[in-house]
Each structure stands twice: as structure tokens, then as C-alpha cells.
Amino acid sequence: LPGHWSHSNPVDILGDADPERYAKALEIAAQDPDSDGLLVILTPQSMTDPTLTAEQLKRYTTITNKPIIASWMGGAEVASGTTILNRAGIPTFSYPDTAAQVFDYMWHYRSNLHSLYETPILSLEFDEDQRDQALAAKLIDAARQSGRTILTEFESKQLLAAYGLPTVETRVAINETEAVKHAEVIGYPVVLKLYSETITHKTDVGGVHLNLAGADAVRSAYRAIEASVREKVGAEHFLGVTVQPMITLDGYELILGSSLDPQFGPVLLFGSGGQLVEVYRDRALALPPLTTTLARRMMEQTRIFTALKGVRGRPPVDLIALEHLLVRFSYLVIEQRWIKEIDINPLLASPERLLVLDARVVLHGPEISEDQLPEPAIRPYPMQYVHPWTLRDGTPVTIRPIRPEDEPLMVKFHKTLSDRSVYFRWLHMLGLSQRVAHEQLISICFIDYDREMALVAEYNNRQTGQDEIIGVGCLIKDHGTTSAEVALLVTDQFQRRGLGTELLRQLIQFGRDEKLQELTGDILDENEGMLEICKKLGFRLQYSSGDHLVRAELKP
């Protein structure tokens, strides 16, 4: 470049730049390890040829590791050059600031993908002991059988507690004497709230009395709530009160909820809560089910998250516990499909505890049949395919669908494989570093259960006390068809114990459940074990003389 070029970014190659100078500058800039993308700007100058410059630049579409964007300014004068670049696959924009915004969108897109495929920490989301699905379903069914679509606050908290969400102690009293008795058991001061099957916004009808310090105050509050409800909406809406401890708001008031979107089905909401929730409007949305990573990303989108991490000398909230709470809440939303809306406000979050102080649950009405219930946009973890099984030698294993948290276990699994097993699975040698690369494993661990299935066999090693994956079976649907490809891989130590047969048998059952018409697989002709498994399970084998591959086909 001439001596008086900019010597900085942006690289000004000066107004007398010919097409060759543009091309050479682009080639050199593309080799800079400190840059991730290139924006080429051209403005009409007396010595500038927009068309020939575009012809020179289109050769650099072979640069695949860095995006190239062009801003050809000048309207009709540069139209031919713009057409050349667009046809070559280099996007063009009329103004550089628009191109800069596109780079920003691309960066955020990549950042979001990186966050999405970040391996979650092992958590409790799939532990059946952490949620009582039967109790939750029973509570919902009882309300529906009585003709109600709104759960009482007491029922709502029972429902949340069934999924491991901590709720404030709540007792129902249908007269003054019961209210006093409950208050003395709980301990003063207490809160009295309206107990009603029809009214959810209790404050609007005078249905909340706080900080009651003794029996007389409780009796007085009971009578006041009853009178207020009778006057404002009618005596039939008053069924009694709930008695709760007066909780000191020593933390942050959050809101957690769910609602239905016409296109996406159930949608989760998280943000700043309390009485000013509609004023601050600090909220983030996400699609269930959540992993711990997705729960964290959801929280990070809110302004309140900065405070939750600790601010101005205040200690942070237990964010890991909050992640787990959001994960469990997301499973409540997708597993209990009769739920239409949930509103938890406030959810108290402090360094010492997380506590649901108030909750409202709305159900679908009787006009909706079970087969009309909205489906979640993301297919939830298919618990129906979790099965205990026993190897031929009596070793117990669990066969279950893979999940994102399995990535560390998959790394260990690949370290146990012999070269022969790797060769049989991939039909060529693939190094360990390639097999355990994060980019490779996310295609196996982070799957869309609508499009594919990967079953793993999990074994608890008694010597180490650690869980290990000892086998994997994959089924990948062919897009736009009713066929799918299957593949198996069992660690060498556990081969010839029936595990491969069982994994394939369960994949076949999954194929039947998904209404697939054909399952296929390519097998090396020397892989006698896999060929034998396929024969046993009814696959038709087609031998090829040329490439040593056997085509296995099954109509499930």
C-alpha cells in the first residue's frame, strides 16, 4: 500500500485503489489471526472500477473460515458489481452500518448456538425422586372433575411442591377458630389470605392481611376478609382463609410462569416480580424443557440477574439451586399437559433460600379434549424409553435416551474402544481426538427426539462407584421420508453379552412407535457380530461384491 494508508483498522487502501489492490488487501487481511470476518467497502472514485473490483473479489469465496460481506456504495453506478458479488455468494449492502449490524447478528447467533450446546452440569432434572407426577396429575384431575379450571392457592402450591419447588407453609382454615389454631402452630406473625375456588387476585377484593401478631388480630382479619369478599363479589366466593407465616422479604422478588403461544405451545417466563412486575417489565422467555445451561441463559437475559449474582456488598443468590428450580418447573409445564397457565409471583430468592410465596394455576377447560392439548415446540425427554435391563452375565444396566449431560461420559466411553470397534462403526479409522471433540459429541448428545434417537446403556462400576456408558444405539430419520438409519457401538469389554441385540431391539420398537416404514444400516462384511444381530432381529441382508458393505433392511 502507499505510505499514507491508514495503518489501522479499518484499512483505508485510498481512493486511487485499483481492483488488484483491493484483492491483495483482502487476501492479506483474511490471513490475520486476530480477525474473524471481513467487510469490504467501495465508494465510487474517479479511479475506481466497481465492476472489475467485484470480479477480482469473487475469487475469494473460497475463504470458508471467515465471512466476507461487501458494501458497494453508489446506487446505479455500482449495480453491476453488486450483481457479480451476490451471484458469487458474497452478500452486499448499500451502507456499511447495515453490514456492521449483520456482523453483530451473526456474532449473537454464534454465541447463542455456543450457549445452547454448552454441556449442562449433571443435575436432578431426570431423577424421578425429585418429582411426584402421580400426585400432580391427581390434583389436576380432582379440580377438573369438580368442573374447575382454576386451582386454589393451596392446590397450586401442592402442585409445585410435587415437582420439588419449595413453597411457603400454607394451611386452610374454614372458620376463625381453625385460623387461630393454625396460626399458633405456625408461629406469629402470620398472613391470612382468601381461600376461594373462583378468585385468584385476592388483593383486589381485600383478601390479604399481613403481619398478624396475635389471636385477636387473626380473628379480626378473618372477619374482615369475609366481609370484604361478601360485599365486593358475593358470599359464595368465600370458602375460608389460608394461614401462612409472615415471610421477611430479605431477598429479591421474582416471577416465574408459563403461558401458551399459538405457534410454540408452552412458553416459560422469568424475571423481576412483586407488585411492580408490570412496571419494570423485566422478563425473559424460553421454551421448555430446560437444562441447567438453558436455565442460566434465560436468567442472564434479565436485568435482575445482575443483582442475583451479588451487588453492592450483598451476597449472591444460590444460582445453581435457582437453575434446578427452573428446570423442575419446566418439566412440570410439559409433563402436566392440562395446565394452561402458571403464575408464581413472588418467588423469593435470597442467599439463604428460594421460596414460592404465591402461585396461581389455570387449567384447560372441558371444551378441550386430550388429543387437542398443545404440544411443546421441543419434544421433552422421552422417559418411556428408560428401562432397566440385565446382561447375560447378570450385570444390571439402564438403557435410556441420551441427554446433553452425557457428554463427559461419552468421552470416557470413546476412550474404551479398540481400533477394530471404531473401524466397524465408522467404516474407516477415526482418531480419538476427532471422536471426542465437542463439535462431534454435540451431534450425538444434543439431539432432537423428533428427528432421531440415541439410546445409551449405563452401567454403575462398583469398583469406582461411577456411572459409565458401555453402549450406544442410534436411529436417525431420513428427512422427508418414513425411513431411518440405525447404528450400534458397544465397548469391547461388554461385547457378546447381548447388549447390542437389546439396543437394536429397542431402536426397532422406537421406529414402530414413530410409524417408520423402513430401517436400514450399512455394515462391513467382516463385522460378523453385527451381521448376526441383524439376522436375529429379522433384517434382510444385501451383500455387495464391490465395496465390502452389507446393506441391512427391516420393515418394522
What does the pLDDT read at residue 303? 96
Nearest to 426 by CA among 472, 483, 487: 487
Residues 6+ apart with CB under 8 A from 150: 143, 197, 198, 200, 360, 361, 362, 363
Q: What is the mean pLDDT of residues 273-286?
A: 90
**What letter would DSSP give residue 373?**
S
Please check the confidence at residue 130 and state whether its pLDDT lies above 80: no
- How much is the pTM? 0.76
- Of residues 212 and 10, the one with the higher pLDDT is 212
Domains of the chain: 19-116 (3.40.50.261), 169-246 (3.30.1490.20), 254-372 (3.30.470.20), 383-554 (3.40.630.30)
Q: What's the pLDDT band for 124 if we cut at 50, 70, 90?
A: very low
Quickly tell me which residue has 383478601 as its cell.
Answer: 207
What does the pLDDT read at residue 121? 63
Rounded distance between C-alpha atoms, residue 329 and residue 286, angstroms: 12
Q: What's the pLDDT band for 9 if we cut at 50, 70, 90?
A: confident
Grid coordinates representing 22 are: 483491493
Please give the radius of gyration of the chain, using alpha carbons only, rounded to the nearest integer: 31
What does the pLDDT read at residue 126? 47
Reduce the DSSP state of residue 359 to 3 states and report it: strand
Nearest to 474 by CA among 447, 496, 493: 447
In percent, how much of the chain has pLDDT > 70?
Answer: 97
Q: What is the mean pLDDT of residues 186-198?
A: 95
What does the pLDDT read at residue 165? 96
Q: What is the mean pLDDT of residues 441-463?
A: 92
Q: What is the mean pLDDT of residues 432-461?
A: 91
| Mean pLDDT across the chain | 92
Buried b / exposed e over 508-538, threshold 16 CB at 10 Å, is: bebbeeeebeebbbebbeebeebbebbeebe
Q: What is the mean pLDDT of residues 42-51?
A: 86
Buried b / exposed e over 483-501, threshold 16 CB at 10 Å, is: ebbbbbbbbeebeebbbbb
Rounded distance between C-alpha atoms, residue 293 and residue 270, angstroms: 15
Please check the confidence at residue 125 and state whether its pLDDT lies above 60: no
List, for residues 62-81, the tens digit of each pLDDT value: 888 889 999 999 888 889 99
Q: What is the mean pLDDT of residues 444-453?
A: 91
Please check the confidence at residue 113 and state whether its pLDDT lies above 80: no
Q: How far apart are the first and last CA of the chain?
A: 67
Q: What is the mean pLDDT of residues 286-292?
A: 90
What does the pLDDT read at residue 129? 61
- Of residues 115 and 266, the one with the higher pLDDT is 266
- β-strands 68-72, 92-93 pairing: parallel
Please check the confidence at residue 299 and state whether its pLDDT lies above 90: yes
Kindly list the distances between the CA atom of residue 433 and the CA atoms of 117, 414, 430, 442, 470, in Å, as whole numbers in the listed order.
19, 10, 8, 14, 19
Please check the confidence at residue 456 and state whether its pLDDT lies above 90: yes
**Least confident stretch, 285-299, 340-354, 430-444:** 430-444
Q: Which of 116-125, 424-433, 453-462 has the highest mean pLDDT?
A: 453-462
Please check the confidence at residue 415 and state whether its pLDDT lies above 80: yes
Quickly tell me which residue has 457380530 as its cell.
Answer: 529
φ and ψ of 345, to 5 deg: -160, 110
Kindly list the distances between the CA atom of residue 383 and the CA atoms of 379, 442, 556, in Å, as whole numbers in the listed order.
11, 21, 22
- Contact at 8 Å (CB) between 139 and 155? yes
List, for residues 213-235, the tens digit of each pLDDT value: 999 999 999 999 999 999 999 99
What does the pLDDT read at residue 119? 66
Give rounded-to-5 percent helix, strand, coil for the chain.
40, 25, 35
CA torsion sign, 189 to 194 to 200 to 201?
A: negative
